[in-house]
Structure 1
Amino acid sequence: RAARHGNKLGATGPFFYKLTRALCELMGEAFPQLVSSRKQIEKVLLQEEEQFAKTLDKGLRLLEQDIAELKGTEIPGETIFTLYDTYGFPVDLTNDIARERGLTLDYEGYEKAMEGQRERARAASKFGIDYNAAGLQLEGKTEFTGYDHIDGHEKIRAVIVNGEEKTAEAGDEAVVVLERTPFYAESGGQVGDTGLLTWSGGRFKVTDTRKEGDNHLHLGTLIEGELFPGLEVDARIDHARRERTKRNHSATHLLHAALRKVLGEHVSQKGSLVDPDKLRFDFSHFEAVTPEQLREIERQVNEQILENSPVQTEITDMEKAQEKGAMALFGEKYGDVVRVLSMGTDNYSVELCGGTHVSRTGDIGLFRITSESGISSGVRRIEAVTGMGALDWIDGTERTLREAARLVKGSRESVIEKVQQTIDRNRQLEKEVDALKAKLASSAGTDLASTAVDVGGLKVVASELEGADRKALMETADQLKNKLGEGVVVLASVEDGKVTLVAGVTKSATGRIKAGDLMKHLAAQVDGKGGGRPDMAQGGGNDPSKLEDALAGVAGWVEKNIA
């Protein structure tokens, strides 16, 4: 609202962020973090202002268009929702504008559209399988033993097939609930464990483990035998997969700490995914992380790995955990008793976490960042690999580098120099090609000028130029317009099954015929679209087979439409 009112009062650029200085002077004593974080506050406010300026511009255009077409005095709920959902346009801002125009808002329609979106989101978040436990009242609680054990002899409490509790037979997809389990259930960004449940005469392949309330749900397929409540089974997780996941999860904690140390204390986790192959970490930050910062982040994480310090866990209450400086993970729910995970020298990272982790930081082996990107306003994403995954990634990069060196006839050491030489040579060749195309255009213009036909006092040329790109067509059209004096030029080419069209009308003739109108007609003939200014227009099409007839009909179209 402040940005909009400033805009209405004549502010032509961002101004709100400048108020930070005055706020620090007035309230800095009561809120010291205003002073210590002033530079960052100004950066974030400036970024938000610049982004909102674009939002305001797009949203106002849409709103003005809808108001102009409005029948009555109420702005439809669908319009309000589109402004909010697509453009981030606040509802109260829409209401302000409506009130200034003497209009009202259809809040009921807006709420209906919002509820429709919520329903779609809820539907998208469901398991996506028919054999889930949703709606079933599962009693009891699964005891998780997986921090210390990778296997166990356990008793089945429930078996669910197609949403019903019943005996599972070979081939069934089912959900199994155990009294106790070493299988970690998907939580806090860490994927669920996989593995096997076995017993005399039977095997159940666990493909995922999830949580419902206090119970662990083991999702999978019965390979052989029967599964029923009361049956005792040997539960064993895929140990190698768990170990890879642990490395990635522990590295995520070190990464979080490194980000805060390198980028600033404003960094907080906004989401994560930890699986056996990689880690993905989303965090709050207002700009792209520079290559230098990424190198320092990676260096700090690997430094902690090389220290090989023990990873410590402590079960305590939330108050004591906060006293230790523990950070809570995004999306995790905590009770009165929490698990505090500390790792690295001098408690480099201290977080609340219920996931599985390595015993020592050195178990991670190696940490390598593979990408950094923005995923939404103020949120960045880092993807990385650890252990053998990191070695495989480095090996793949080395192979790519060696292949690039081979292609430019260089070595690993000289590849950059060789690539630069190749780029420079290509640029020089492109200049030479452009010069030759210009000469060809001039030559073609001279030749084509002799083919012009007179239509109502205008000289009309319509021709296909083989191998010409759009730039060459434009240059040739300009050459022809200069030679014709007063006339119309249409040039075309075909490449990879696509038609490129250019139409030109000399300035003196634009009062009699428009290049844009001619192009719309031409492009439609070859299954395409086009348009442009009265003196120059461009277009294209998908049907080269009709180009010859389209060009042959240009003179006739000019004759019919000439003023």
Structure 2
Amino acid sequence: MGSTVPAQERVEEWTAPKVRSTFIDFFKEKHGHTFVPSSSVVPLADPTLLFTNAGMNQYKSIVRPNLYLHTSTYILSKPQETPQRLHTPFLGTVDPSSSFAHLRRAVNSQKCIRAGGKHNDLDDVGKDSYHHTFFEMLGNWSFGDYFKEEAITMSWTLLTQTFRLDPDRLYVTYFEGNADVGLPPDTEARDFWLKVGVAEDHILTGDMKDNFWEMGDQGPCGPCSEIHYDRLGGGRNASSLVNQDDPNVLEIWNNVFIQYNREPDRSLKALPNRHIDTGLGFERLVSILQDKPSNYDTDVFTPLFDRIKEITGARPYAGGFGDEDEGGVDTAYRVVADHVRLLTFAISDGGVPNNVGRGYVVRRVLRRGARYARRYFDVEIGSFFSKLVPTLVEQMGGMFPEIRGKMKEVMEILDEEEASFAKTLDRGEVMFGKMAGKVAEGGKLGGGDVWRLYDTYGFPVDLTKIMAEERGLSIDDGEVAEAQEKAREASKGEKKGAGDALKLNVHDINALENMDGVPKTDDSFKFGRENVAATVKAIYHAGSFINSTDGVGEGDQVGLVLDRTNFYAEQGGQENDTGRILVDDGPELEVGDVQVYGGYVVHAGVMRYGSFKLGDEVLCQYSEERRGPLRGNHTGTHILNFALREVLGDEINQRGSLVAEEKLRFDFSHKSGVSEAELEKIEAECTGYLRQNSDVYALDVELAKAREIEGVRAVFGETYPDPVRVVSIGVAVEELLAEPKKKEWRCVSVEFCGGTHVRNTQDIKELVILEESGIAKGIRRIVAVTGQGAYEVQRVAQEWEARVGGLEKMEYGSEKEARTKEWQHGLGQVEMSAVVKGKLRERVAKVVKENLEHQKAAQKAESKKVVDAITEHFEANKESKTLVLSLSVSTGSKAVQEAIKMVSSKQKDKSVYLVGKADDKVVHGCFVSEEAQKKGLDAGKWANEVAGVVGGKAGGKGASSLGQGTNAGRVDEAVEVARKALEGLGL
């Protein structure tokens, strides 16, 4: 069914990989298209997009002005920079040194995500057979090359002859026109469809919504022509079902004819070069060719379904929807399989889960999927999604090798994120149950409750909506927005208080010590990773201790002292934790600062909900999002300390450190600066240690015994407690103590340390040194980043390497000079590996030198050209004693000055005026012979007459004068003024 060949043959022939490769080969091999690998699904350098959502995204610089885009092959200005309008064969702003500058025909399969922003299919995933948050868009493009007839012919030939789809099941649409905006019907496209053989009753019209494509309010646009497929066929005419959301009549391909430009005043102008942009839904095409009723029934998804069944023990996927989906299991299959695709590709391309923008979308998707997995598959959450990743990589890693290279990292991030959500999932569901239990069936869940489920327990609002729907409840988005705004206002109090953080003075500490029943805080739990139950022992507010926070407003600062805590107080160079102290369904403190005073740990922050009182049993919940990077940076500091000693020698001693969330800072004694070669060795030593995947051990040891360990590192002048905590990377502390004088221990990082650390060096992922500098005589400082921060600076470094590579290939000219100057400055401002930056600076400096050489050579040639013109004039006109010459010169040219100098030395009997136009500037000057001076021609007055026309000033001594003007539009007028001055004196 659905083709000119039997269904069984189609199913066996058209595997998903073959469908993809057949499409690409058709355009590449038969029609001369260039295969362009898919761009990143996370467009980090394009602020206009949340995610790449169409195949056209990476080509925007070719066809659309004023966009700033980057891939591994080309780069334009950063978002904050002024756009550079470059000369290209098209309308756009693509860098002329880029391979895209000469691209005429392209084909690819683009990774796309539609799960946020304008294009968001998240809510529909799982509920129907064809929505996905991640999908592939097959496409072919023409940039000023072929147009409608060729595009229509190619698409029809591919579908009916190569893929052998039944023409009777295919329907096409074309733009019906719009008289209100002056657009005629696209009868040209209609006629081409008739020409290739489409039946007239299968050709339909469409309006501006369905058949006119625009990127935005301005820029290239044009009519489009869609191709739809009727799954059922059977001799029926399905024209009336096209574009009616019928699941059996699907749009599969859209041909966009980019032929207009939308101007700022909303008018349309024809483009000088016309382009083709097409998009063919890969998953839909596979389902048609495999004769499946749903995208989810194809081998795009079945390997993932098989793996889900294997992991969970669930019943096989049955393809049910709505009431036919027994227990909601089929929906869960679809949701989980879809979501692991988005998560794997997004994280591989740099979309790390967090609370902002793209990162929040990734987090939402993971938490949504995790809840589906636990509810419908009854599995423990913590490492579920990572078990699916290898299957996906096996499926798609050939076409998209980036997911193969990032597989391990993706699995680690998924496990970390899942485990973090698992900590609050149970409690959040219990809280939701309590909140929902107060609402009658069919009622509305309060916006404040919905927001707190997100704010405290990490439940994205759309996840809470799903849970509400399961109970027959609704949610008012307006109420949720009000609650969010209220929380935002409360957070302003936190920010306001950050500069004036709650601190205890000596009298407050004394008061604590004299309170009955207030012990020193047991903070040993800070080295663990679990939430801790504790009791409120003291409450501090507005300079005094109080019994409860009744009357304290939301957003006001409060300090809590507990009998025990898992929060890390700022000490030993490591910054403090942040997080929450709360009672489920009760009061909550947003902890922003943690300090220790004589053994009492004070958790300072702002009130979010309810009221605390002395004796309350609370839950301590530190922020793993902050603690994770702190741990990585602290362990990274130890590894850096070790590497410094290995490369620079034993005289290296720590002189201070800072472990922050964003980066680490390490101060050390060293007599001279660290060379670039030494930095490279230090970074390589750190990388080598990280790659050993060493476990990190810690143990409290008697101080005297700890000092005996060979190679142990400690801060000079620091007073350590007894027992002291020993942290060792790669060898258990007990093993070190068994033979403390063993020489091999000098090859192990061993330090006295009271900070938090990773479990294994692979958790750090990378360590990149950003800078090295001197801060005092004999004291040096290194700043570095680890983990995701290191990945980010590596990504930036790759961008700059591509940028500098493009600069090196550019032909010399004003554009190259401008870019060189701009990027030489920009390179100094950006954060990246100090080693890479040093090498890039050398390369840019070489370009600067080459530019200077070109500039000198060009100026020399330009000066010679002007001098030759003067010489030729007087040789050809032996009787002539004067010359007024208008010429074009380059910016910064010294041709006028050099030519005047030549006349003054070699042709003193001549009077010459030169007016040079350099872009929007004017350079002019003159020399007056003795004869002309006797007749009253004064060089200074002559030059100032010209300056009066072109602006600016002129000046000089004796017979010569030079000037610069700003009105280049009056050069011809200035030349006439110079000539009339000669004529007036009879010269």
Task: Please classify the TM superposition score into its range, dividing by the shorter chain length.
Answer: 0.5 to 0.7
| Matched letter for residue 370 of structure 1 | I
Paired residue type of 1:137 = D
In the TM superposition, residue 428 of structure 1 has moved relative to its aligned partner by 4.9
Structure 1 equivalent of residue 282 of structure 2: none
Indicate the residue corresponding to 1:297 in structure 2: 682
What secondary structure, in the 3-state scheme, does the structure 1 residue paired with 2:634 have? helix
> Structure 1 residues 267, 134: closer, same or farther in 2, change over 3 A?
same
After TM superposition, give the deviation of residue 296 of structure 1 in Å: 2.5
Matched, 1:274 2:659: yes
Correspondences of 1:152-191 after superposition (within 5 Å): 152-166=532-546, 167=549, 168-191=552-575
Query: Would the alpha carbon gap of residues 224 and 478 (structure 1) be closer, same or farther in structure 2, given more than 3 Å must change?
Result: farther
- Alignment-mate amino acid for residue 344 of structure 1: G
In structure 2, do the counterparts of structure 1 residues 209 and 470 end up closer, same or farther at CA, with 3 Å as the change threshold?
farther
What is the identity, as a one-letter code, of the residue corresponding to 1:358?
Answer: V
Change (3 A) 1:370 1:261: closer
Is it true that 1:150 corresponds to 2:520 in the alignment?
no
Provide the secondary structure at the position in 1 that maps to 2:671.
coil
- 1:246, distance to aligned residue in structure 2 (A): 1.1
| Mapped pair 1:311 → 2:696 | yes
State the partner residue of 1:452: none
Query: CA–CA distance in 2 between the matches of 1:281 and 1:239?
Result: 24
**Aligned-pair CA distance for 1:433:** 2.3
- The correspondence of residues 123-522 of structure 1 with structure 2, limited to 5 A, is 129-135=499-505, 136-138=507-509, 139-140=512-513, 141-144=520-523, 145-166=525-546, 167=549, 168-199=552-583, 200-324=585-709, 325-329=711-715, 333-344=719-730, 346-347=744-745, 348-364=748-764, 366-377=765-776, 378-402=778-802, 404-405=804-805, 423=847, 426-436=851-861, 438-439=863-864, 469=892
Secondary structure of 2:646's counterpart equals helix
Does the aligned pair in 2 maintain the 1:131–1:163 contact within 8 Å?
no
TM-score, normalised via structure 2 length: 0.33
**Paired AA for residue 342 in structure 1:** S
Q: Distance in 2 between matches of 1:372 and 1:237?
A: 31
Cα distance in 2, alignment partners of residues 400 and 266 from structure 1: 36
Helix, strand or coil at the partner of 1:181? coil
For the structure 1 residues 222 and 427, does the alpha-carbon distance in structure 2 shift closer, same or farther, using more than 3 Å as the test?
same
Output the CA distance in 2 between the equivalents of 1:198 and 1:361: 33
Q: Give the deviation of 1:153 after TM superposition.
A: 1.3
Q: 1:250 to 1:131 in 2, by over 3 A?
A: closer
Q: Are the structure 2 counterparts of residues 432 and 321 from structure 1 closer, same or farther at C-alpha, using a change threshold of 3 Å?
A: same
Q: Distance between the aligned counterparts of 1:343 and 1:290, measured in 2? A: 27
Note the alpha carbon deviations across 1:63-87, whole angstroms, 9 max, x for none: xxxxxxxxxxxxxxxxxxxxxxxxx
Report Cα offsets for 1:411-436 as digits up to 9, x if no partner. Answer: xxxxx9xx89x948645532322314
- Letter matched to residue 543 of structure 2: G
| Displacement after TM superposition at 1:281 (Å) | 1.8
2:686/2:767 contact within 8 Å kept: no
AA aligned to 1:293 is E
Report the 3-state secondary structure (helix = DSSP H, G, I; strand = E; otherwise coil) of the residue aligned with 1:227: coil
Residue identity opposite 1:157 in structure 2: K
Number of positions where the alignment pairs a residue of Structure 1 with one of Structure 2: 394
Give the 3-state SS of the residue equivalent to 1:334 in structure 2.
coil
Q: Secondary structure at the match of 2:794?
A: helix
CA pair 254-229 structure 1, distance change in 2 beyond 3 A: same
Amino acid in structure 1 at the alignment position of 2:592: T
Question: In 2, Cα distance between the equivalents of 1:479 and 1:211?
Answer: 80
Q: For the Cα contact (< 8 Å) 1:372–1:380, is it kept in 2?
A: no
Match of 2:567, as an amino acid?
A: F
Task: Provide Cα deviations, 1:442-462, integer angstroms capped at 9, x if missing partner.
Answer: 69999xxxxxxxxxxxxxxxx
- Checking the alignment, whether the CA contact within 8 Å between 1:318 and 1:336 is kept in structure 2 is yes
Give the CA deviation at 1:478.
6.5
Could you list the per-position Cα deviations for residues 184-235 of structure 1 after superposition, in whole angstroms to 9, with x for gaps in the alignment?
0112221111111111422211123223332223232211112344333211
Q: 1:131 to 1:272 in 2, by over 3 A?
A: closer
Equivalent in the alignment of 2:46: none
Alignment partner of 1:328: what SS?
coil
Identity among equivalent positions (%) equals: 33
Measured in 2, the distance between the counterparts of 1:265 and 1:228 equals: 54
Which stretch shows the higher mean deviation, 300-309 or 216-225?
Answer: 300-309
Aligned counterparts of 2:685 and 2:779: Cα–Cα separation in 1 = 22
- After superposition, the C-alpha distances for 1:286-318 in whole angstroms (9 at most, x for unaligned) are 333233322332232233223333322232343
Please tell me the root mean square deviation across aligned C-alpha atoms, in Å.
5.6
Task: Determine if contact 2:771/2:784 at 8 Å carries over to the other structure.
Answer: no
Contact 2:695/2:759 (<8 A) preserved: yes
Contact 1:131–1:161 (CA under 8 A) maintained in structure 2: no
Structure 1 residues 232 and 248: CA distance shift in structure 2, 3 A: same
Residue pair 1:203, 1:222 contacting (<8 A) in 2 also: yes
Change (3 A) 1:467 1:298: closer
- Structure 1 distance, partners of 2:707, 2:556, is 47
Greater strand percent: which structure? Answer: 1
Q: What amino acid is the match of 1:349?
A: S
Change (3 A) 1:193 1:439: same
Amino acid at match of 2:521: T
Distance 1:492 1:283 in 2: 59
Deviation track 1:240-289 (CA, whole Å, cap 9, x = no partner) reads 43122212211210110110111011212223222233222222223332
- Tell me if the contact between 1:467 and 1:495 (Cα under 8 Å) persists in the aligned partners: yes
Say if 1:158 and 1:428 are closer, same or farther in 2 by CA, change over 3 A: same
Could you tell me whether the CA contact under 8 Å between 1:289 and 1:372 is conserved in 2?
A: no
The aligned runs of 1:4-43 (5 Å cut-off) are none
- The whole-number CA distance in structure 2 between the counterparts of 1:306 and 1:233 is 40
Residue 297 of structure 1 aligns to which amino acid in structure 2? I
In 2, the alpha carbon distance for the partners of 1:407 and 1:177 equals 59
Relative contact order higher in (CA < 8 Å, ≥ 6 apart):
1
Which shows bigger deviation, 150-159 or 234-243?
Answer: 150-159
Q: Deviations over 1:463-494 (max 9, x none)?
A: xx997649779868966886999xxxxx9999
Check the 8 A contact 2:538/2:562 in 1, yes or no.
yes
Letter in 1 for 2:544: E
Q: Is the 8 A contact 1:188 1:332 kept in 2?
A: no
